[in-house]
A = this chain, B = another copy of it.
Amino acid sequence: VAELSLSPVEGLPEVGPGDDIAQLVIDALAKRGQALEGGDILVVAQKIVSKSEGRLRDLATVTPGKDARRIAEEHGPEADPRLIQVILDETVRVVRSERVLIVETRHGYVCANAGVDHSNVPGLDMVTLLPVDPDSSAESLRARLREIGRVEVGVIVSDTFGRAWRIGIENVALGVAGLPAVIDYRGQLDDFDQELTATVVAVADELAAAAELVMGKTARIPAVVIRGYHPEALPGLGKDLIRPAELDLFR
């Protein structure tokens, strides 16, 4: 039976700038008699990757500009113009500014607040930014796990994004290394020998979504091991999951 299992990496310490996530994960697993196996997929929350890469900003040091002040005024008394300034600094295009700021980030993600977030960050005014290059973050972590853990795994750097049309946020894959981002079934035959059309499945997003079920939001589980997923498709990048603006009907 092809079975998929997901287990939390428990007991990870608070991560700070410069910390070696690969080592922390290996140590946390070892303490419980566990270890990564070849072919596993390690899903890590963007939050700890950003912290380890020093992608933090202290709102106390931010002076909001004219645009940030105007948007804060439009959004109402609870909006913080300093936070909006930080969001705009990560933004190439404001997609919607109503109730929330939905923007296109420099990576091409369309998401609320450019992924800038102050939950689960120590310090009242500290916020995390998304990694500069999540694919490269994933690849570095994968290389480091190979180096010190002597194991070949896939890595996903994940974050929770909102969606158009549907309620609630869902985990997606920002960075991908060592596993497919999408599986393209076009041209293959279905169970009745008809050709499947328009069927490109975002498997890395589905893996990230699955991992969120084990991460939760308040328990400190920023890393999850997925075992048993062995697709017949070439490795890809998180970039592959970004719809180019010119092909997007909704931005």
B-contacting residues of A (Cβ < 8 Å)? 1-8, 10, 32, 96, 98, 100, 102, 109-110, 112, 118-122, 124, 160, 163-172, 182-183, 185, 188-192, 194, 196-203, 205-207, 209-210, 212-214, 217-218, 220, 229, 240-243, 248-251
Contact = CB atoms under 8 A, between A and B. Distances in A.
A26 to B, nearest CB: 17
B218 A191 contact: yes
* Interchain residue pairs A-B with the least CB separation, the first 7: A168-B202, A210-B210, A164-B250, A209-B209, A110-B165, A206-B209, A164-B164
A100 B32 CA distance: 50
Of A110, A191, A218, most buried by chain B (CB within 10 Å of CB) is A191
A193 to B, nearest CB: 10
Nearest to A240: B167
B1 A194 contact: no
Contact of A8 (B2, B112, B217): B2
A201 B205 contact: no
A87 to B, nearest CB: 14
Given A1-B7, A4-B7, A201-B217, 13 more contacts: A1-B8, A3-B7, A4-B6, A5-B6, A163-B163, A165-B248, A165-B251, A167-B182, A168-B200, A191-B220, A201-B212, A206-B210, A210-B213
29 contacts: A3-B8, A3-B214, A4-B214, A96-B250, A98-B249, A100-B198, A102-B249, A110-B164, A112-B198, A119-B190, A119-B196, A121-B192, A160-B201, A163-B163, A163-B202, A165-B243, A168-B200, A169-B200, A183-B217, A188-B217, A189-B218, A190-B217, A191-B220, A199-B217, A206-B209, A206-B213, A209-B209, A213-B229, A250-B250
Q: How many copies does the complex hold?
A: 2
Most B CB contacts (10 A, CB to CB) among A160, A188, A206, A212 go to A206
B1 A170 contact: no
Nearest to A171: B206
Nearest to A119: B190
A169 B202 contact: yes
A90 to B, nearest CB: 16
Contacts of A1: 7-8, 10, 32
